[in-house]
Structure 1
Amino acid sequence: MKEPLKTLYVKRTQKDYSLSLKLQIVKEIESGKSGITDCRKKYAIQSRSTIVTWLRKYGNFDWDNQTPNSMQKTPEQRIMELEAEVKLLEKQKALLERQAYIADKKAIFFDMMI
């Protein structure tokens, strides 16, 4: 008597997929290049609901109101967003400069010890 072949089923979680893969799949579906089923087969994703969750989380569709989320922003809103982004980048730059300064001081100190 032959034994039935066992299929390899490995339960996967959201953590098994990289963010870049998730965003790539969402972009592919939203652009209309592929459907959910096509992407499921192409990227070996076990469940349709996994992709739907990514679409809700990372997509440009307002699932509560069932409308696309791509409303045009006024120039004032765009300027405010860019100003906030500039402030954030300036803070990050200052932090990185401080870390580089400390690293340089440590290197000089360690060189003097040796």
Structure 2
Amino acid sequence: MKTSDHLGHTKRTQKDYSLSFKLKLVEELELGLLTKSQAKLKYGIQGDSTVTKWLQKYGNFDWEHQSPKTMSKTPEQKILELEAKVKLLEKQKARAEHLAERADKKVIIFDMLVDMAEKEYDIEIRKNYKPELSKTSKKTKKRP
């Protein structure tokens, strides 16, 4: 064991603990008599992961096949989340409707300006293309 004179405490490593001590501690944790932090304080264990490593090595829990723990939500929590989503979607819908209405107004104003410019300057700004068949497609239609 290493001692630190100026701090007044003993610095220990995992090798300083006996196997029987580790097994006893793991048993206390698995029985729910202590939490990891309580065990650290009670026995003066300094490392944050020391107790976890002992649990993995000597405990009864199958750490290799552990499935992630997800806390199930209560119906009230689910309702609150869904209500928040509904409010968000309503805001997004209102914004989209506002932008669509604004775009429609812009189109109307643009059309009015083009009409005014055509009358004022007596020119045709809009091109009115009539769909006509190309010469090659006319020829192919006549052959059958």
- How high is the TM-score relative to the length of structure 2? 0.40
Higher alpha-carbon Rg: 2
Return the structure number with greater relative CO, CA threshold 8 A, min gap 6. Answer: 1
